[in-house]
Amino acid sequence: MLLEEITSSDEELISMARDIIKRNYDHKKFNHTVGCALRCKSGKVYLGINVYSLYGACAETVAISNAIMNGESEFDCIVAIGGDRSDIVYSPCGNCRQMLSDYSPNCNVIISTENGPKKIRAKNLIPFAYLTPMD
């Protein structure tokens, strides 16, 4: 597999995602259960939480949208954290994998493995991914 070790700056990203969901976790209706931190190539970090309803936006979608609204288009690394203790590194869902593959195929994605958190490129999350005309 094409996994890489995480760095101290990746640990900081994990901590930022953990902090945003700890502050926003919804224990009553479970509308907000995942936090995300996205580091752009510029070094700026954008945060997001999931917004759940019948179908809501994933935390990754919110963070990417936040970055784009602020003029960012090159993404370096992303991580999603959840769980009622804000201690689970989540791998992106299928929709988020496709979105990351479309927007930033070389973005590092921190995922959970048997050996702890590791990084993998977004383009390697989906074998035989749908390719947009820009690819």
Write down the pLDDT at residue 53.
67
Measured CA to CA, the distance from residue 49 to residue 81 in angstroms comes to 9
Write down the pLDDT at residue 84.
85
CB half-sphere exposure, 31, CA atoms < 13 A: 6
Per-position DSSP letters for the chain, written without gaps between them = ---B---HHHHHHHHHHHHHHHHH--TTT-S--EEEEEEETTS-EEEEE-B-SSS-B-HHHHHHHHHHHTT---EEEEEEEETTTT-EEEPP-HHHHHHHHHH-TT-EEEEEETTEEEEEEGGGSSTT----TT-
Regions of the chain with pLDDT less than 50: none
| Residue type present at position 111 | I
| Global confidence as pTM | 0.91
Write down the pLDDT at residue 54.
64
Write down the pLDDT at residue 30.
80
**Per-residue tokens: 133:** 């005309």
Q: Which domains does the chain have, with CATH numbers?
A: 8-124 (3.40.140.10)
- Catalytic residue selected from 4, 5, 12, 60: 60
Is 60 catalytic? The answer is: yes
